[in-house]
Amino acid sequence: MFRQTDPDEPRIYFLPNAMTAGNLACGFFAVLTIFKGIMLASATGSYDFAAAKPYYERAILLIFASCIFDLLDGRLARLGGKESPFGREFDSLADVISFGMAPSMLMAKAVLLPLDEVVNGLGWVLACIYVLCGAMRLARFNCLAALPKSANVGTDFRGIPIPMAAGFISSLTYLIIYFNENDRDLGAWKYVLAAAMLGLSILMISDVRYPSFKKVGWRTRGTPLIIVLAAVIVFFTVKFHQFVPVILFTAYLLYGLAVRPFLSPKVQREIEVDDEAGDDPAEALSQTDHSPENRVD
C-alpha cells in the first residue's frame, strides 16, 4: 500500500490496482491500434479492409489481455482482503475504455463501416448505444456495491458483465476476420455483428442474472480431473486462439440467458459455488442463500 499522508486519502493497494492499470493500458493501446488500422485502410481513398486486418486482430488480442487483467485484479484484491472504493472506481473507469470504447470503435469503423451505405451513421449509432449501456451497467454495479449488504447477500451479476460482452463481440469478430475471404468488408457477417452488438447492449442493462464465480478462489476445492480439464482448456485456448475464446464467451452468455433460469438452486450451487465455508455452518448457510431479493450486482 502507498504511504498515506492524509487520513481522508483513499487507500490504494499496489497489486490489484497494478492489474487494473494493465487492463487500462491494454485498452488504450487497442484503441490506438484500431486507429492505425483505420488510417491504413483509408490511405488509398477507398477502404481497404485487407490492409487493416492485422491491426484489428492485434487490437482484439489486446482486448483479450484486458479481460485477463480484469480477472486478476479482483482475485488479488479478494485474496489479500484489499478491496477498496478506489479500486472499484478505478476498475470501472478502466473497463469503460477497454470493454466499452475499444470494442465500439472496432465495430463502428473497422467492421460496421459498410452499414453506412444502408443507413448513414448506423455503425456509429450502434457503437454509441453499446458504450452508453456499458457505462450505465458499470454505474449501476458501483451503486449497488456501495449499498449496505445483508448477511445473506448473493454475488450474482445483474446483466451480463461488460468484460464478457466485450469478450464475446471481440472473439466473434476475431473468428470472422480469420475466415473472411472478402478483402473489402465482412460481407453478410456485418449484419450478424451489428445485431449481436445491439443484443449485448440490451443484455448489459437487463435484469438477467449471471454468476460472478467470485467464490471460486485459491481455497476452492477441486479434483485431479478438474485440474487436468482446466489445463486442457488453457492449452487449446492458446493453440486455437481463433476458435476457443468465442466458444468460452458464448457458453457464459448462453448459460445466464438460456440455461441458468431452468436449473434448480441445488444444481446452480454445485456449478457456481465452491465449498469454501469449510466447517463453519453459519458461513455455509450464508453462501447457499440465492433468493432473488438478496442478489446484487
pLDDT tens sequence across 3-61: 555 666 677 778 888 999 999 999 999 999 999 998 888 887 777 788 888 999 999 99
Mean pLDDT rounded to a whole number for the chain: 82
| One-letter amino acid for residue 59 of the chain | A
Q: Give yes or no for residue 181 having a pLDDT over 90.
A: no
Distance (Å, whole) CA 34 – CA 21:
20
Better-predicted residue by pLDDT, 212 or 135: 135
Q: What is the pLDDT of residue 5?
A: 58
Q: What is the pLDDT of residue 220?
A: 61
Q: What is the pLDDT of residue 153?
A: 57
Which ranges of 42-81 would DSSP assign to H, the alpha helix?
Answer: 49-79
In whole angstroms, how far apart are CA 222 and each of 36, 87, 275, 280, 289?
45, 29, 10, 19, 22
Q: What is the pLDDT of residue 251?
A: 94
Q: Which pTM was predicted? A: 0.83
Q: What is the pLDDT of residue 150?
A: 65
Distance (Å, whole) CA 193 – CA 109:
13
b/e sequence 233-258, b meaning 16+ C-beta within 10 Å: eeeeeeeebeebbbebbeebbebbbe
Identify the H or E element spanning 36.
Answer: helix 14-41
Q: What is the pLDDT of residue 82?
A: 66
Q: What is the pLDDT of residue 2?
A: 47
Cα 10–chain centre separation = 26
Look at the block and give the residue holding cell 446483466.
159
Lowest mean pLDDT among 94-108, 144-158, 213-227, 234-248: 213-227
Strand stretches in 112-208, DSSP E: 157-158
Q: Give yes or no for residue 144 having a pLDDT over 90.
A: no
Better-predicted residue by pLDDT, 232 or 121: 232
Q: What is the pLDDT of residue 129?
A: 96
Better-predicted residue by pLDDT, 265 or 63: 63
Q: What is the pLDDT of residue 190?
A: 87
Q: Give yes or no for residue 282 having a pLDDT over 60.
A: no
Lowest mean pLDDT among 39-53, 74-88, 170-184, 249-263: 74-88
pLDDT above 90 as % of the chain: 42
In whole angstroms, how far apart are CA 47 and each of 26, 38, 51, 59, 175?
26, 8, 9, 18, 21
Q: What is the pLDDT of residue 170?
A: 95
pLDDT tens digit string along 145-180? 887 776 555 678 899 999 999 999 999 999 998 888
Q: Give yes or no for residue 238 having a pLDDT over 70.
A: yes
